[in-house]
Chains A and B, each alone.
Chain A
Amino acid sequence: MINQTIAVYRREMLILKRRFKRQVAGQAILPLLYLVTFGYAMGGELRFDDISYLEFLLPGLVAMSSMTQAFAIATDINVARFYWHIFDEFQAAPISNASYVAGEVMAGITRAIISIFIILGLGLLFGVQLHYGPIFWLAILLNSFLFASLAVALAMVVKSHADQSLLTSFVITPMAFLGGTFFPVDRLPGWLQNILGLLPLTHASTAIRGAALGKDVNVMSLILLTITGIILFWVAFFCVNKARD
């Protein structure tokens, strides 16, 4: 099983290697724009709890990118499934659903980790240096595991590229803006905080920001990310059979 999981993962990594320069440029452009626009130009004088807005924003962008880049594996799976029909190769091979899902989820996590290094590099350029200890990386790992699992599950049940695009628009984009990336969720009315507290990204951005700023991290957020990630991995496992006609 491990050998086959590695085969699925290695295929994604070989493709990533071929596209590496394009991939890095693509992953850098949006965080760079957010840092320039929201962090540098608009939020230059803004401070939250004695930290500059750039220091507040950077961990939020880390959380957001670990989500979007891990979730982006769904697009790659869909292109392989609907356009190149490479998914047929996996379906006809003697591999378990768990091997396939694990390989793709690992690929999603790798993409997310690459994007984090890019953001941290951009942060250095803007003069932002935070604490990047084990809890910071654990929260990123859990967040990218969760969203890569969600990506595989959804990629198995959608029927076209258009469906995939709609899911990104209705699930990922709102979460990216409302999950504590750009502003502190505790400044919102209580009822809205309760709703946003249901979003995994809210917990991820809170945990990542807490760790990056050297504050206490709410262990419950990490537990919630872990449990949700495991549940979504199992959902993805069962959804692989749904991809058969």
Chain B
Amino acid sequence: MISIKNLKKAYGTNNALTGINLTVPAGELFAYLGPNGAGKSTTIRILTGLTKMTDGQASLGGFDIETEAIAAKRQFGVVHQYVNLDQELTVFENLDIHGQLFGMSKDMRKAKIEELLAYIEMADRADTLIKELSGGLKRRVTIARALLHEPSILFLDEPTVGLDAAIRRRIWALIKKIQQQGTTIFLTTHHIEEAEFLAHRVAFLDEGRIVALDSPARLMAGVGTWAIDQLKDSGMETRYFKDREQAAAFQAEDGFTLRRVNLEDAFLSLTGKKVQA
């Protein structure tokens, strides 16, 4: 379980987080959705020990991240939005060093690495240098590394950023599979479809505060079910409808596009901003 109480972070006079309160129960796939600069990565950096909080309290699996830091760090694995693997080491060596940092025995590390490489469909790449892998494969290795010590919580900070659509879908399938095995997943993203497809619950984050928190279906239902987009000189104008007939009747006029409401609409209606700028 992840518990966050009144979490604040300020860089000088700039308030990156202005008081986050959140509880993520064990086994949930939770998405943290917001535009760039909303405070998503800052939250993950604080929870994983990379950044100091200005105020507040947080615990992971019941361990306080400040006063019981070592125990709290045993609870999670983390995948950053950047690939932080040793480029001059092989896939196996990167994973092996990680396992040793977590106090795993040599035999345990070897067995777990073989299992995970099979799991991410890279069993034949154990001896490949990281610098020789594609972006998608590197991302898979970072996910395997985060899972190596069998954490109960997995932090994924923009795990599909910079990847093409096909690879992104493979990573999504992998994330689903990990969650179905009981791991709590805390995912930050600014990809609307990612949050819709994966998450049990979504928090909308804007300017360092949570403006809404619910299941994707409920967040979208608050706006409507169908949307009509019309391109005007002043930009795109969108109207929302509860049922398809109403929307279809409206769509009869030329230049209108009928579509289902998505999380972007819900975010826009709450903040006046788009998630994906």
Contacts and interface: CB of A to CB of B under 8 A. Distances in A.
B101 A245 contact: no
Nearest to A11: B97
Nearest to B142: A89
Interface string A74-88: 000000000011101
B50 A88 contact: yes
A94 B132 CA distance: 29
26 contacts: A3-B103, A6-B100, A7-B101, A8-B101, A10-B97, A18-B89, A19-B88, A84-B85, A84-B86, A85-B84, A88-B50, A88-B80, A88-B84, A90-B101, A92-B73, A92-B76, A92-B78, A93-B73, A93-B101, A94-B71, A94-B101, A96-B70, A244-B51, A245-B45, A245-B50, A245-B52
Interface of A: 3-4, 6-8, 10-11, 14-15, 18-19, 84-86, 88-96, 244-245
A4 to B, nearest CB: 6
Name which of B11, B80, B89, B100 has the most chain A CB atoms within 10 A of its CB: B100
Chain A contact residues: over half helix, strand or loop, or mixed? Answer: helix
B49 interface: yes
Interface string B62-80: 0000000111011010101
Closest 3 CB pairs of A and B: A7-B100, A85-B84, A94-B73
Contacts of B188: none
Interface of B: 11, 45, 48-52, 69-71, 73-74, 76, 78, 80, 82, 84-89, 93, 97-98, 100-103
A94 B101 CA distance: 7
Chain B contact residues: over half helix, strand or loop, or mixed? Answer: loop
B46 to A, nearest CB: 9
A127 to B, nearest CB: 38
Contacts of B78: 92
B100 A4 contact: yes
Contacts of B102: 93-94
A15 to B, nearest CB: 5
Contacts of A15: 86, 88-89
A230 B105 CA distance: 31
A94 to B, nearest CB: 4
Contacts of A93: 73, 98, 101-102
A7 B105 CA distance: 12
A13 to B, nearest CB: 11
Contacts of A88: 50, 80, 84
Contact of B98 (A85, A89, A245): A89
A11 B73 CA distance: 20
